[in-house]
Amino acid sequence: MMIFFKERLALLSVPKTGTTAFQAALRSQADLMITDPPELKHAPLYRYNRWIRPMFEKVCSAELEVAAVMREPVSWLGSWYRYRQRPALDGQANSTKDVSFDEFLHAYCKGKPPAFANVGSQAKFLEAQPNGCKVSHLFRYEDQDALRKFLEQRLDLDIRLERRNVSPQARLTLSPDAESHVRRKRAAEFELYESIPLR
């Protein structure tokens, strides 16, 4: 998560959406940057609303706009699947080393996913809060230029990005049955993604 106080902007760090590269590029511009632990680096909107927003509201009488990135859901799940195939996880419950992508998707759709498929929800991460706190600027991961241009204009600077925290390469074979299952069971993910305007 990054806070730019003068510009009244918070940038959430949705996992697997390339925000680590923006953190590296904007480190010197941010007034507050949380990079660790992951639970705070990747704080969802409801956690921002509970802890970070009140700090600025009560101490500074300031309300920040919130920006975030969402990745196409199957691509997002593919990135998690590949990330959990890395050798460091061999033998652990959250490893996908001996799991097919179809099996991973079917497991993700369960009410209580097993450890290897328990990766959360982008829709839940970005869900508007009852008090009106919401993501004001939502961008597609697949359109990095839109986010870069938005930040360049908002922060009045040029941004040069380098790829960071890239998942290992792995072939993803997706059956029509698995795709249909995930689209049906996790419809909110696809509905939110498809609602993001093309810029």
* Tens of pLDDT, residue by residue, the chain (199 residues): 999 999 999 999 999 998 888 999 999 999 999 988 988 999 999 999 999 999 999 999 999 999 999 999 999 999 999 999 999 999 999 999 999 999 999 999 999 999 999 999 999 999 999 999 999 999 999 999 999 999 999 999 999 887 655 655 667 889 999 999 999 999 999 999 999 998 8
For residue 100, what pLDDT is reported?
95
CA 15 to chain centre: 4
Q: Note if the pTM is more than 0.85.
A: yes
For residue 169, what pLDDT is reported?
67
Distance in angstroms (rounded) separating the CA atoms of residues 176 and 160: 38
- Give CA angle at 189 (84, 118), nearest 5°: 30
Domain total in the chain: 1
- Give CA angle at 166 (163, 169), nearest 5°: 125
Distance in angstroms (rounded) separating the CA atoms of residues 178 and 183: 9
Q: What domain range includes position 79?
A: 2-195
For residue 104, what pLDDT is reported?
97
For residue 168, what pLDDT is reported?
59
Angle between helices 73-83 and 176-185 (to 10 degrees): 110
CATH number of the domain where residue 110 is located: 3.40.50
For residue 166, what pLDDT is reported?
61
* Ramachandran area for residue 68 (φ above 0: left; ψ -120 to 50: alpha; else beta): beta
